Structure 1
Amino acid sequence: MSPRLSAHDLNKLSPRQREIHDDILSRRGRVGGPFPVWLRNPELAECAQKLGAYCRYDTCLPPILSELAILVVAGYWDAPVEWGIHAPIARRAGLPEQVILDIEEGRPPHLEDSKARAVYDYTKELLASGRVGDAMHARAVSELSESGVIDLVALIGYYSLVAFTLNAFEMPMPEEKLGSVSG
């Protein structure tokens, strides 16, 4: 798989693209993943960066639950670059290796924590049908709070956009291979 877009020449960025590039770099330490694609439309890149920063760093969900949902999304959309970036982050957040392996291999993981189980089940149900049943929604609200479910849905949507972008433009794994690569 080779990228469908040529690499951006940093010397040829417009002032607006440079401003957003530098903002992404200052927040994330690198401009990878979907951002090289989105930077071709700087207004999209700016909006996506803000939503992504919220979904990644500022939701009311603890990182272990956010990363669990991100891995479910990456696996569902068969997004190896998203998986490769987030599997190590999930490990650092404390997600057990067996849970990561199970999701990677398409098996339902054994999740003892009821909040983690709610995140996994809600994410799978929403991705599978674009909807969530009343019982699942009530269970998720009970486990995560209403705000937690709102943040979870935003996170699922944002990381689906990331997966679509990475897959549609056949973006490569960052130079430093960060994790296992499979859907």
Structure 2
Amino acid sequence: MTARLRRALPHDLDAETRTLYDKITSGPRGGFMVDGEGGLTGPFNAMLLSPPVGDPLQELGAALRYRSTLTGRARELAILVVAGHQDSAFEQAAHEPIARRLGFTEEQVRALRDGSPLTLPDPGEAAVLAVARALVTKGDLDDGEYAALGERELFELTTLVGYYTTLALQLRVFRV
């Protein structure tokens, strides 16, 4: 597939868009979301199309990634559930290596990619897996799934699933 969205380069940006670009590239994601010419990769290039919407969206992603109470393993588990369900190649390529560094095995990563059964020994991670899969497949939780996590963790997890679902949609539409 050919990308639909032209890569925005820093020297071509107006002041408002450059402010957002600088905000994204100066944060912890900046080092790996910039290509050799200075353009943003992944979902961040599209965020530059509308700084009033793109800025809060990238802020939400930063909060979920760097300031939530979800463990790194829980976060990557949920992201990869969404990426697998949405068949988001970019999100898989970006997050599978992180999951591996956090100790997920190739078999586990493959199960997250294709949605096959996966047994996790940690009860908290098993609950995150069950909740994330329920959210992407039926968009709701039964009482048991709801009770499996604390309300703060559940709030953060549902927000994370919604955020990465949004990114997967944008990545697909813009052919990133």
**TM-score with structure 2 length normalisation?**
0.91
Q: Distance in 2 between matches of 1:40 and 1:169?
A: 12
Name the aligned partner's letter for residue 89 of structure 1: I
Of structures 1 and 2, the one scoring higher in RCO (CA 8 A, sep 6+) is 1
- 1:33, CA displacement in angstroms? 1.4
Q: What SS does the aligned partner of 1:132 have?
A: coil
- Share of identical aligned residues, percent? 36
Q: Deviations over 1:11-65 (max 9, x none)?
A: 2201111111011011112332111011111111110111000111111011011
**1:59-138 correspondence to structure 2 within 5 Å:** 59-138=68-147
Q: Deviations over 1:84-129 (max 9, x none)?
A: 1010111112223221012223312121111111111101111111
Aligned to 1:25: 25
Q: Is 1:162 aligned with 2:167?
A: yes
Name the aligned partner's letter for residue 166 of structure 2: L
Q: What SS does the aligned partner of 2:119 have?
A: coil
Q: What SS does the aligned partner of 2:160 have?
A: helix
Q: Distance in 1 between matches of 2:139 and 2:83?
A: 16
- 1:9, CA displacement in angstroms? 3.1
Q: Distance in 2 between matches of 1:58 and 1:152?
A: 13
Number of residue pairs matched by the alignment = 167
Name the aligned partner's letter for residue 147 of structure 2: A
Q: Is 1:13 aligned with 2:22?
A: no
Aligned to 2:158: 153
Name the aligned partner's letter for residue 54 of structure 2: A
Structure 1 gap segments, 5+ residues each = 172-183
Structure 2 gap segments, 5+ residues each = 34-39
Aligned to 1:176: none
Q: Distance in 1 between matches of 2:67 and 2:109?
A: 23
Give yes or no for contact 2:10–2:21 (8 Å, CA) kept in 1: no
- 1:67, CA displacement in angstroms? 0.1
Q: Distance in 2 between matches of 1:25 and 1:5?
A: 19
Q: What SS does the aligned partner of 1:108 have?
A: coil
**TM-score with structure 1 length normalisation?**
0.87
